[in-house]
Each structure stands twice: as structure tokens, then as C-alpha cells.
Amino acid sequence: MLIQAEPLKKLVSVILEKGGSSNDEAQVVADHLVRANLAGHDSHGVGMLPFYVKRIQDKLLFPNQTPELVNSDGSILMFDGKRGYGQAIGKMAMEQALEKCRETGLVLMTLRNSHHLGRIGTYGEQSIKAGMVSLHFVNVTDHFPLVAPFRGSDARFSTNPICLAMPGTKKQPPVLLDMATSRIALGKARVAINKNEALKDGLVIDHKGQPTNNPNVMAGYLYPEQKDNPPLGALTPLGKYKGYGLALFCELLGGMLSGGGTIQPENPRHNSIINNMFTLVIDPARMVDVPWMEHEIEAIITHAKASPPANPEEPVLMAGDPERINEKERSVHGISIDDTTWEQILEGGETLGLAREELLLLTE
């Protein structure tokens, strides 16, 4: 089905409120999720809602938390998210980091023990809006691993994302690199399984560490109740040992330096998602002349984009362009939600006591 962003946000916020969130929290989380769909990242959009509803029922996610400042030392701010909605906790922690950065020019902010932070680019966008540069390294715990280390044959890491954000200029939109350190997300394997399609080369390995195009090696993670799943395989890291190195640093910076912990097996795994984030916020105006900086940003991007495309139908883009293109298109034509996801969202609302007809009315 195709649905416009506003009614979708309304539906999601009503379900979140029924799950115990204040109206303010429901608005922030719903806005984050719908904006992820608008940006084209459906894996981090409203399709996460049924998972959140279950985690609330399992007492692994607690609505209405605020980030607790556990250490403030010079330019260092360390927060504990108390298993609250990451989208709300992350936004509040970033607000405090940005405010401090206006004074100090540089802030190191860590956030541990937050439930799923969602699309990490959202926090980069928050910095960009404040005119700041930011770097984010995130690990994932409380969840079974999905990604193999380079040369390994089983999953030891998660899809540990990194986000780097640079404000734009009057002529040039901001640069926002926001990516997992695995080649694909688990959601892409799920789509291939559901469509009975082979995966492209190099994206997954089987249980012996051998390359395969069969997405079903990931089925045991997604559909553990199915009896005929092949033995568990793993996703591969981005760029071989380079992506593996970056994933490891997400563990060391995001997991370890935040005090939250890494995905090593002594730490708990409740089949929930805890994100720990290491963030640097920098005020570029404290470092270089702003008109010069803006000229350099425009010049380097113009330089990159002037490269003649190898395929005339695919011009050179920069990080952040695909999301802007998606947002423009989806804001007009609506967000496409597959039937299974839509059904799961409605069922999530029903398990909280909302009537399906009431939910459907909100989408009209």
C-alpha cells in the first residue's frame, strides 16, 4: 500500500502512546521512523514498530526515559539511556551535546544502554541543523550477532553503523554519510528470501565461511521456527578487512568507551536491541574561516561530481543525495509499505488493545 507521511505518523504515534509513551515521546519516535521511510531506509522505519511493541511487553524497552548524565568532565558528556526509546533518548542527548559544543567548540558525547537508536543519520542531521560537524560510531548489543569478521566463518558482530555529517552551504546541500559496516542489512536478505531471489556475489557466507548467493543461510535468524532452514551463515563486512576494522572500532568506541559493553558473549543477549554510541561534535567555525570552508565544500563536491559517469544513466552522487532524492519522491507519491509489514503494524496496535477499524480510520 501507499500512504502519505502525515497519516502514517499519526497511526504510529497513536500506537506508541497506547504502548505507554507520552504524546511528546510518541511524536519524536514516530517522526524519526517516518523520516527513515521517507529517506528510503525502510529497514529503520515504521516496520520496526511491531518489534518495539514486543520489547515493551517483554520489559526490555521502557517508554518515557530521559538520558541520565553519568559523567561530565571538561568536554566529555556520558549518558545512560536506561533502555528508553533510542529515537527520543538520542535526540535529547544530542541536544545537550550541541548546546555544550557552542561553548567549548568540541564535545565528546557517549550514550550507552539506549534501546534501538534507529537511523543514525538522524543525529547527523541534528548536528548539521546546528551548523556542527559530527562523527558517530555505534555498536549493537543484547542481540545475536549477524556479521562475520573477515576470514571468519560465523557471525560475531552486528551491522555496527557509522555516520559522518558536514553542514552544507547556500549552494550545496549537507554531506551525510550514514552506513552499516556490513555489506547489506539483514532486512535485504529477508526481502530476497521472501521473493525467492538469489543474492549478489559476496554479500553472505554459509556456515563453513564459503561464499554463497543463497539468502536462506540467514533464514534461521529471521524465521527460527521454520524446520527446513539451512545451517546459519553470516553477513559479510563491507570492504573485507577494512569494514571489519571499522565494525571493531564501533565496538571499541561505541560499546567499550561508552561503558555500555561490546557484543562479546559474556554480555547479555535478550533478543532485543541496545545501541551504544560514541559521538564527536565539532564547531567548524572555531577551526577555520567559514567563507573559506564553504568555498572548499562547494569546490570539492563540484570536483567529484564533474567526473564523467561510467554509466551515463548513473551520475556521480555524494553521500546524502540518495536520501534527498527518495524524500522528494516519497513526500509526493507516498511511502510504500508491503502487506506483511502493514499487517504486523496493525497487529502490534491490536495487541495493545486498539481496534483495527480505529487504526484504519487514522490513515484516511
Per CB under 6 A, residues contacting ligand NAD are 41, 43-44, 116-121, 138, 140, 159, 161, 163, 176-180, 185, 275, 317-320, 322-323
C-alpha distances out from residue 321 to 40, 136, 268, 277, Å: 11, 19, 38, 24
Q: How far is the CB of 286 from ligand NAD (least distance, A)?
A: 26
Q: How far is the CB of 323 from ligand NAD (least distance, A)?
A: 5
Helix (H, G, I), strand (E, B) or coil at 133: strand
Strands 234-235 and 335-336: unpaired
Nearer to ligand NAD, 121 or 348 (CB): 121
Q: How far is the CB of 81 from ligand NAD (least distance, A)?
A: 12
Nearer to ligand NAD, 111 or 138 (CB): 138
Nearer to ligand NAD, 94 or 117 (CB): 117
Nearer to ligand NAD, 231 or 315 (CB): 315
* The three grid cell numbers given for residue 36, joined into one nine-digit string: 527513515
Q: How far is the CB of 103 from ligand NAD (least distance, A)?
A: 28
Helix (H, G, I), strand (E, B) or coil at 307: coil
Closest CA to 157 of 172, 147, 166: 147
**DSSP class of residue 134?**
E
Q: Are 276 and 81 in contact (CB under 8 A)?
A: no
Question: What interhelical angle do 23-38 and 86-104 show, nearest 10?
Answer: 90
Nearer to ligand NAD, 98 or 140 (CB): 140
Percentages helix, strand, coil for the chain, rounded to the nearest 5?
A: 45, 15, 40
Q: How far is the CB of 353 from ligand NAD (least distance, A)?
A: 29
Exposure letters 315-354 (e unless 16+ CB within 10 A, then b): eeebbbbebeebbeebeeebbebeeebeebbbebbebbeb
Nearer to ligand NAD, 83 or 116 (CB): 116
Nearer to ligand NAD, 316 or 355 (CB): 316
Question: How many other C-beta atoms lie within 10 A of the C-beta of residue 267?
Answer: 13
Q: How far is the CB of 256 from ligand NAD (least distance, A)?
A: 16
Helix (H, G, I), strand (E, B) or coil at 72: strand
Q: How far is the CB of 359 from ligand NAD (least distance, A)?
A: 26
